[in-house]
């Protein structure tokens, strides 16, 4: 593994509490969506990232508005952290006109240019060449803004991964390639899709560094991100950060995930990123029972409001099925 | 003021003028830099605009289009060159799933102003992978625009229109015409609007609808028919998506007979669609079935004998026009 310079960082207690809030909000949002699918209120298109929240929080925390993110289908939290209102994301999942795509697609296939969010298609890895294009414009403009592009270990087997990362390496583009290695591409485990252990090793083939880290440790993710951001902003090109993690639910909410054992799931649940971080905050007296209660009330309030708003929002009308095809 | 330019020079002139006019316009593709492109279309651009705006890429067609989409998300207007239209299949997903759908899934809040130049067509001894006419694939995709100029004038005017268009445009440039088509091109801004056909020859007895490299043999066949007392109106579509339905209907209401000629293959191609629309909407105006002269449902063989056997030409078009006139 090539050495990645360890970056010192200092986060104020209120920043750490904000991280905690985001972890809790993203977890609760996905959990609520899971329930809404079971209730038949949200039809489909729900791919939760439960268990993977530390990656989103650790990478998105402190990004600039001008930075661009290219999230994948489990990264609803990245939309929230980059500034999309929970009620808008909930509307998106309810296929309402108040959602990002006005009911055209319930999944995370939409984006918001003014917030620096590029929504990918279902073709995994297809966002990586797009990330390279975004990064190329920052290089052209000689700004120090960056692109943070997400992909799964499964998508690292797609041709677009190679084309996107190769171009980023050649051009030394300011991009963080964040691999969310959750061990399964739908049902196919990593050992059946890759002949190496670490996606991070692939970076070397493109002329930049890759590092594999514990993706369930929000501060480890944050630290690695800060190091890579400093390099990218300083014109030193891309970095690949492979975050080892695990998705608790199936590929989609309809997938019972029979392809993995209860023991494996239990082992990964014991590495839940939220209690780990909670313990860290409590031992430093940043978090106490009252603050936990406050955060949980805030989270529940935000999600209740979002659901209420989305349920009462209007459905698209039939003619919306054929509009917005052309500018 | 106008001057005579080849079709290829006209494309280059449009690129140069648009790049001078708008700093957000840039070109990218394989060998487009110092080499000047496989056919020489981008010759001189690298010297004038530098490597930041004339970007040599690896052999990565998917990334070339993906990068273009990313740049477009930040307000740029990239012109991507596919070295041969045949290679566009490697970029298919980025075009049809990423670019074409983007505005729709973004709820109308973004657009993708990219141009993908596709040097197409046979009659150049190119064989299977240097001769294809892929336009039929892309007219089947809402959200895209597809243009196919036949003259130097249109090559320049349509490329300018494509670059200024806010939608993804597939610009199908026929290689056979590169140095064989030569004609007057106005200096400066003469935009050929997308979606407007040109009547190349007027006539009252039959309507011939065509585009691209098939315009010349179609005119030749029409001249032959004129000697037999049949005046054929030749319509050059110029734009394939959207196509100029009004121009087609105006002509057929006058002539009551329609022949469609294209170099793309036959089954479920552009001719099939035009024929269906004519029969659905103007059945009463017809005195004869809509006929087609197209490439047969096969590939482009390398042998000159085989390729000529397949290609539509003035003789085949003449025969079809005679058949049409007999009804």
Give the CATH number, domain containing residue B88: 3.40.50.970
* CATH at residue B250: 3.40.50.920
Q: What is the pLDDT of residue A11?
A: 94
A111: distance to nearest CA of chain B, Å?
6
Supply the pLDDT for residue A107: 81
Distance CA A61, CA A76 (A): 14
Cβ under 8 Å to A: B residues 279-318: none
- Rounded CA gap, B292 and B320, in Å? 8
Answer yes or no: is B191 within a domain: no
Closest CA to B310 of B325, B324, B295: B295
Q: What residues form DSSP beta bridges with B232?
A: B206
Sequence length of chain A is 327
What is the predicted pLDDT for the residue at A3?
45
Q: Which residue of B has its CA nearest to A98?
A: B107
Which residue bears the tokens 């799933």?
A: B97
* Residue B300, domain member (yes or no): yes
Among left, alpha and beta (phi > 0; psi -120 to 50; other), residue B152 is alpha
Among B135, B151, B186, the domain-final residue is B186
The 10s digit of each residue's pLDDT in A248-257 is 999 999 999 9
Does one domain contain both B28 and B154?
yes
Mean pLDDT, all residues of chain B = 97
Contact at 8 Å (CB) between B131 and B300? yes
| Adjacent-strand bridge partners of B169 | B115, B145
The count of structural domains within chain B is 2
pLDDT band at A6 (very low <50, low <70, confident <90, very high): low
Cβ contacts below 8 Å, chain A against chain B, sum to 136
CATH topology of domain A47-89+119-310: Rossmann fold (3.40.50)
- Residue B220 covered by a domain: yes
Same domain, B111 and B172: yes
| pLDDT tens, residue by residue, A115-133 | 999 999 999 999 999 999 9
B236 inside domain: yes
Question: Which among A102, A109, A113 has CB closest to B110?
Answer: A113
Helix H, strand E, coil C: the string for B22-88 is CCCEEEEECCCCCCCCCCCCCCCHHHHHCCCCEEECCCCHHHHHHHHHHHHHCCCEEEEECCCHHHH
Considering the domain boundaries, does residue B192 fall inside one? no
B241 to chain A, minimum CA–CA distance in Å?
12
Work out the burial of residue A220: count CB atoms within 10 Å of its CB; fewer than 13 is exposed, 13-18 middle, 19 or more buried.
middle
Query: Which B residues in the span 185-224 are in contact with A, Cβ-Cβ below 8 Å?
Result: none
Query: Could you state, in order of their start, the residue ranges of all structural domains in chain A?
Result: 47-89+119-310
Confidence of residue A1 (pLDDT cuts 50, 70, 90): very low
Confidence (pLDDT) at A293:
98
> What global pTM score does this model have?
0.97
**B63 contacts A137? CB cut-off 8 A:** no
Give per-residue pLDDT as tens, B237-265.
999 999 999 999 999 999 999 999 999 99
Same domain membership, residue B168 and residue B73: yes
Q: Quote the distance between the C-alpha of residue B36 and its chain's center.
A: 22
B267: pLDDT strictly greater than 90: yes
Query: Which of B186, B210, B237 is the last residue before a domain boundary?
Result: B186
Do residues B123 and B210 both lie within one domain?
no
Q: What is the ipTM of this complex?
A: 0.96
Q: B16 lies in which domain range?
A: 2-186
DSSP A178: E
Q: For residue B56, which of B41, B46, B43, B71 has the smallest C-alpha distance?
A: B46
Measured between alpha carbons, how far is B134 from A199 in angstroms, rounded to an integer?
Answer: 36
B175 and B291 in a single domain? The answer is no
- Which residues are bridge partners to B183 per DSSP? B5
User: Please, which residues 202-221 of chain A have a Cβ atom closer than 8 Å to chain B?
Assistant: none
Tell me A284's DSSP state. T
Instruction: Quickly tell me which residue has 């993203």 as its tokens.
Output: A26
pLDDT at A4: 53
DSSP H helices in A270-312: 273-283, 289-312
| Residue for token pair 């514990």 | A214
Confidence band (pLDDT; 50, 70, 90) for A7?
Answer: low
């Amino acid at each position: 593994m090539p050495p990645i310079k360890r970056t010192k960082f200092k986060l104020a207690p209120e920043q750490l509490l904000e991280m905690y809030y985001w972890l809790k909000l993203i977890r609760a949002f996905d959990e609520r969506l899971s329930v809404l699918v079971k209730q038949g209120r949200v039809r489909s298109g729900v791919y939760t990232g439960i268990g993977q929240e530390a990656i989103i929080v650790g990478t998105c925390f402190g990004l600039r508005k001008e930075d661009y993110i290219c999230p994948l289908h489990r990264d609803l939290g990245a939309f929230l952290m980059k500034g999309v209102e929970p009620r808008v994301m909930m509307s998106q999942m309810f296929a309402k006109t108040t959602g990002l795509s006005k009911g055209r697609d319930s999944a995370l296939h939409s984006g918001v240019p003014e917030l620096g969010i590029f929504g990918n298609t279902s073709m995994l890895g297809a966002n990586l060449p797009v990330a390279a294009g975004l990064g190329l414009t920052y290089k052209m403009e000689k700004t120090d803004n960056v692109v943070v592009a997400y992909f799964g270990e499964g998508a690292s087997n797609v041709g677009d991964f190679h084309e996107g990362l190769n171009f980023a390496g050649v051009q030394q583009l300011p991009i963080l390639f964040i691999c969310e290695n959750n061990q399964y591409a739908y049902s196919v485990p990593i050992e059946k899709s890759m002949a190496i252990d670490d996606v991070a090793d692939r970076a070397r083939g493109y002329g930049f560094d890759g590092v594999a880290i514990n993706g369930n440790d929000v501060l480890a993710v944050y630290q690695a991100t800060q190091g890579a951001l400093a390099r990218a902003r300083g014109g030193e090109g891309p970095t690949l950060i492979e975050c080892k993690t695990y998705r608790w639910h199936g590929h989609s909410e309809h997938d019972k995930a029979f392809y993995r054992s209860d023991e494996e799931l239990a082992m990964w649940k014991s590495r839940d990123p939220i209690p780990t971080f909670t313990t860290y905050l409590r031992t430093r007296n940043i978090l106490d029972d009252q603050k936990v209660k406050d955060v949980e009330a805030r989270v529940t309030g935000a999600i209740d409001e979002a659901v209420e708003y989305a349920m009462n929002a209007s459905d698209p009308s039939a003619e919306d099925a054929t509009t917005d095809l052309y500018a | 003021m106008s001057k005579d330019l080849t079709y290829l020079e006209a494309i280059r002139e449009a690129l140069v003028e648009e790049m001078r006019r708008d700093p957000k316009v840039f070109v990218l593709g394989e060998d487009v830099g110092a080499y000047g492109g496989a056919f020489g279309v981008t010759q001189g651009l690298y010297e004038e605009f530098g490597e930041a705006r004339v970007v040599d890429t690896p052999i990565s067609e998917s990334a070339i289009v993906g990068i273009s989409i990313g740049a477009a998300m930040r307000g740029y207007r990239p012109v991507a060159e596919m070295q041969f239209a045949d290679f566009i299949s490697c970029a298919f997903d980025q075009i049809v799933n990423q670019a074409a759908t983007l505005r729709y899934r973004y709820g109308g809040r973004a657009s993708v102003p990219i141009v993908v130049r596709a040097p197409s067509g046979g009659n150049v001894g190119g064989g299977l992978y240097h001769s294809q006419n892929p336009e039929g694939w892309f007219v089947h995709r809402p959200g895209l625009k597809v243009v196919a100029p036949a003259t130097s004038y249109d090559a320049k005017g349509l490329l300018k229109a494509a670059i200024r268009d806010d939608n993804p445009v597939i610009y199908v440039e026929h290689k056979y015409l590169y140095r064989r088509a030569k004609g007057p091109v106005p200096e400066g801004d003469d935009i050929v609007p997308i979606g407007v056909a040109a009547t190349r020859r007027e006539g009252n007895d039959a309507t011939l609808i065509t585009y691209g490299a098939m315009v010349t043999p179609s005119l030749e066949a029409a001249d032959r028919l004129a000697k037999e007392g049949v005046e054929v109106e030749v319509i050059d579509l110029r734009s394939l998506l959207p196509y100029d339905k009004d121009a087609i209907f105006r002509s057929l209401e006058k002539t009551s007979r329609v022949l469609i000629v294209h170099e793309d293959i036959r089954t479920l191609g552009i001719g099939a669609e035009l024929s269906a629309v004519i029969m659905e909407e103007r059945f009463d105006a017809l005195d004869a079935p809509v006929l087609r002269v197209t490439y047969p449902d096969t590939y482009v063989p390398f042998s000159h004998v085989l390729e000529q056997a397949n290609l539509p030409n003035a003789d085949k078009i003449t025969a079809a026009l005679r058949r049409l006139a007999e009804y």
